[in-house]
Amino acid sequence: MSGETTTLVLWDIDGTLLDGHGEGKRAFYATLERLFPGKTFSDIPMAGRTDFGIWHELAREAGASDLPAFSVFGELYAKVLEEFLAANPPWLLAGAGELLRAVDAHPGFHNGLVTGNFFQGTRVKLQALGVWDLFALDGTPVGGYGDHVPDKGPLAREALEAWAARFPGREAKAVVVGDTPEDVRCAKVAGIGCLGVATGDYSMQALSDCGAEAVVPDLSDTASLIELLERIAA
Ligand SMILES: [Mg+2]
C-alpha cells in the first residue's frame, strides 16, 4: 500500500453523527453520583469538550482531596453508558449512516475519529448506533480520543500521528467533520480543513465565522458531501 495517499475523514460523534437524547450526559452524572454518593454536581455544557476535561471540572466539585484517576471513572462510565443507551438507543442523525458507508466504500477514504469521548465510550456509542464496523481498522479505529487532554485541540493531530505510527510510509491527508468551534479549532491545530455541520448547538454562520472550510445544515446529501470532503482534503 506504500505510496498511496489515504484521506482520513475524522468524525466528531455527539451532535454530528448521533442524537443521544441526553443519555450520554445523564450517564455521566449517574456515574459521578455512584462514585461520590450524596454529592451533587452543577449542570455544565458538554458540547465540544472531552470526557477527561468534564470529569476534572465536575469531580473537583465533590471536594475529594484525592480524585480517582480518570480511568476509574471511565471504566464505570462505560458500563453505565451501555445500560442507558440500551434502554433508550441513540439515533443516527439524518444522512450520517449513508455518508459513513459512502466514506467506507470510497477507495481513497477511511473513517476515523476526533472525539471528546474516551475510547470505551466511543465504542459503546458507535456500537449502539450499529456503525462501529465502519470505523474498525483491524479492530481499532484510527482516532484522537478525549481520555487524556482537557479539550479537543490536539486530537486531530494525534489521529494523524496514530495513522503514521500504524501505517509508516502510507501518506494520509485528513478532514475533520464536526458541529462545534472546538472541532474547527482542532482541525486548524493539525493544519487540516474542517467541514462544519450545523446539527448541534452552533449555527452555520457561527461555524463559518470560526474558520470552517465549508458548512452544511446536515449530512443528508451524500454525493455532494463526498465531493466536498474530497475538495476540503485536497
Ligand atoms: Mg459534537
Residue-wise pLDDT tens digits, 79-131: 999 999 999 999 999 999 999 999 999 999 999 999 999 999 999 999 999 99
Return the pLDDT at 66: 81
Ligand 1 centroid distance, CA of 17 (Å): 8
pTM value surpassing 0.85: yes
pLDDT of 72 > 80? The answer is: yes
Ligand 1 centroid distance, CA of 201 (Å): 9
Over residues 185-197, mean pLDDT: 98
Long-range contacts of 143-146 (CB under 8 A, 24+ apart): 143/10, 143/112, 143/113, 143/114, 143/115, 144/10, 144/113, 144/114, 144/115, 144/186, 145/113, 145/115, 145/117, 145/118, 145/119, 146/49, 146/50, 146/51, 146/52, 146/53, 146/115, 146/116, 146/117, 146/118
Ligand 1 centroid distance, CA of 1 (Å): 33
How would residue 3 be classed by pLDDT, with cut points 50, 70 and 90?
A: low
Q: What are phi and psi of 222, to 5 degrees?
A: -55, -50
Ligand 1 centroid distance, CA of 166 (Å): 26
Fold of 6-20+91-233: Rossmann fold (3.40.50)
Who contacts 110 (Cβ-Cβ below 8 Å, separation ≥6)?
A: 6, 7, 8, 9, 103, 104, 137, 142
Residue-wise pLDDT tens digits, 194-225: 999 999 889 999 999 999 999 999 999 999 99
Residue-wise pLDDT tens digits, 122-167: 999 999 999 999 998 777 899 999 999 999 999 999 999 999 999 9
* Helix ranges (DSSP H) in the chain: 23-35, 51-61, 70-87, 96-105, 119-129, 155-166, 181-190, 204-209, 222-233
pLDDT of 1 > 60? The answer is: no
Ligand 1 centroid distance, CA of 169 (Å): 31
